[in-house]
Amino acid sequence: MTEILQQPCGRAWIELDAGALYKNLAWFQKRAQNKQIIPVLKANAYGCGAGEILEILKDTDIQMIACACTGEAVFFRAKGWTKDILILGGTFAQDLPLLEAYHLTQAVVDHAYAEMLEESGVRCDVHIAVDTGMHRIGFDPEDITEIEKVFASTRLHVTGMFTHLCVSDRRENSSYTRKQICRMNALTDCLRTCGYDPGLVHISATYGIVNYPDIREDGARLGIGLFGVLNNEEDCRKYRRVLHPVLSLHARIASVRSLRAGEYAGYAMAYQAEKDETIAVISIGYGDGLPRDFSRHGAYVLVRGMKARLIGRICTDQALIDVTGIGAMPSDTVTLIGRDEREEITVGMWAEWEDTITIDVLTRLSGRPQRIIKTAAGRN
């Protein structure tokens, strides 16, 4: 049972809905036809808070998590995660001893990297990355000889193989995705025929599970979808009945003041009032993850269940909003992502305002806002 942490009391905070995360995990497990789910908690768990998300996952049957680098993996060990951790990116020479010291599983990104690992003398479990068409990392699937060398190593123990689908988010690209899947399956079949055990084979990430649930694989990596979010607002709306947002972002009103018609507000006189207005200073800024020019894109926040548009340039620690007619008061809660009465602002809406994707929005949330686990509900 996840413990309820202290209630929000700071200038800005992020609430994490543990019950929503459990529901998302259950849906993806069912969608993936009960393959092993590997939550990917890179980039501070996509901005949600790696330590807090890890605490929630300790109440599940997850056997392996993945991250981007050694520093993240060591952090998870320090937080008490005793099960497998897969590092998806390269570990550089000076950090290689950490792989053995912390019992970490390392992705082998190409044959040159395999040689470096071998020559270092480190002993560790590895997953072999395969380049089936993204051309970022991985062995060429036709280069069987180099792949066999990894299996032949006396220091590197192959416990898995994986690839990454680069266009699985759109079904219209299905022919390319199917080609990637076929190349991976052909490789693993060939290796088995040659007497090698490829271990845990994982091909899908979030969109692979969503759009290609029939992929032949042993496991699937679950990134952004774990948090109830897909790449854009259109996709989020499509799956809103089954995916539940885990993160909401809040701040407080620090000050309320009058702005007369013709007066300017904020840096560089970027905003000029066309009529008499009531404005408020809120306790959050680009140091917390807001884009500096957010107000130029029509962005707004929620105060007392009503929309309040952002005005002027965002500051490092503060921002200005128009609260005319809202009756806002100092210390009122401001919702930047999440629901307030009948109104809601989603991560997908932020992405539309910024002309980007939701992952970009979330991973830019800084470590400064306090992360709070909202519920203590067990797995659903």
Predicted confidence at residue 7, as pLDDT, reads 53
Predicted confidence at residue 6, as pLDDT, reads 54
Who's near 288: CB < 8 A, 6+ residues apart? 12, 251, 317, 365, 366, 368, 369
Predicted confidence at residue 297, as pLDDT, reads 87
9-39: string of b/e by CB count within 10 Å (b at 16+)? eebbbbbbbbbbbbbbbebbbebbeebbbbb
**247-373 homologous superfamily:** Lyase, Ornithine Decarboxylase; Chain A, domain 1 (2.40.37.10)
Q: How far apart are CA 257 and CA 320, in angstroms?
A: 11
Could you list the beta-strand ranges (E) of the chain.
Answer: 12-16, 36-39, 64-67, 84-87, 105-108, 124-129, 156-162, 200-204, 219-222, 247-259, 264-265, 271-272, 277-282, 300-303, 306-311, 319-322, 333-340, 343-345, 370-373
Q: Which of 266, 228, 270 is nearest to 247 (CA)?
A: 228
Predicted confidence at residue 224, as pLDDT, reads 98
Residue 347's H or E segment, with its range, is helix 347-354
**Sign of dihedral through CA atoms 108, 110, 112, 115?**
positive
Answer yes or no: are the C-beta atoms of 11 and 370 closer than 8 Å: no
Who's near 109: CB < 8 A, 6+ residues apart? 89, 90, 129, 137, 138
Q: How far apart are CA 379 and CA 134, in angstroms?
A: 36
* Alpha-carbon distance values, 180 to 129, 209, 319 (Å): 13, 15, 46
Yes or no: domain 18-227 corresponds to CATH 3.20.20.10: yes
Q: Which of 286, 285, 280, 319 is nearest to 303 (CA)?
A: 280
Predicted confidence at residue 177, as pLDDT, reads 96
Kindly report the pTM of this predicted structure: 0.94
Clarify whether 267 is annotated catalytic.
yes
| Residue ranges of the chain that CATH labels 2.40.37.10 | 247-373
Q: Which of 134, 179, 128 is nearest to 150 (CA)?
A: 128
pLDDT averaged per 10 residues in sequence order, the chain, 380 residues: 55 96 98 96 98 96 98 98 97 96 98 95 97 97 96 96 96 92 98 98 98 96 98 96 98 97 95 97 97 92 98 97 97 97 97 96 96 68
* Catalytic member of 23, 35, 42, 374: 42
| Residue ranges of the chain that CATH labels 3.20.20.10 | 18-227
**Sign of dihedral through CA atoms 262, 264, 269, 274?**
negative
Predicted confidence at residue 312, as pLDDT, reads 96
Predicted confidence at residue 171, as pLDDT, reads 86
